[in-house]
Every structure is written in C-alpha cells, then in structure tokens.
C-alpha cells in the first residue's frame, strides 16, 4: 500500500483519504456477511481479503498523517 500511495504510485490511490473510501469497508463487510450466510468458503476468503485490504489502506493513510 505504501508503494501504491507513493509519489510515483497509483494516482487513484494517492487521491484517497479516510472519508473518500469509508463506504468501501462497509460494502466489503456486507459482502462478507453474504458469503458467510451462504456458507461459501471461497467467497468468504475473497471478501476477507478485500476487507483486509481496506484495513491496510486506512492504516497506511493514518501512518502517513503521523509521519
């Protein structure tokens, strides 16, 4: 994530802040809940990865703010 948000990283990722992506985390939680409800382990694995990416994204932005 640090590389994606670096000056030479992904323009879209660099533009984001906590507020601009806040609903992404909510959406991923709902998708995870759907996968759990349907007992779809493969989908659960995918959605857990997506949710983890959101956590890492927010953690990186917090780290940058404190730098």
pLDDT tens digit sequence for 8-27 = 999 999 999 999 999 999 99
42: which 2 tokens?
């493969």
Distance, in Å, from the CA atom of 62 to the CA atom of 55, rounded to the nearest integer, reads 11
**Cα R_g (the chain), whole angstroms:** 14
CATH match of 2-6+17-66 with 1.10.3470.10: no
pLDDT of residue 24: 98
The string of pLDDT tens digits covering residues 23-64 is 999 999 999 999 999 999 999 999 999 999 999 999 999 999
pLDDT of residue 53: 98
CB 28 within 8 A of CB 54: yes
C-alpha angle 57-40-26 in degrees, rounded to nearest 5: 30
pLDDT of residue 10: 98
């Amino acid at each position: 994530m640090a590389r994606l948000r670096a000056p030479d990283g992904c323009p879209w990722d660099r533009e984001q802040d906590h507020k601009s992506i806040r609903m992404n985390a909510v959406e991923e939680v709902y998708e995870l809940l759907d996968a759990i409800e349907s007992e779809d382990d493969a989908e659960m694995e995918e959605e857990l990865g997506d949710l983890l990416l959101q956590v890492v994204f927010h953690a990186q932005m917090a780290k940058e703010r404190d730098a």
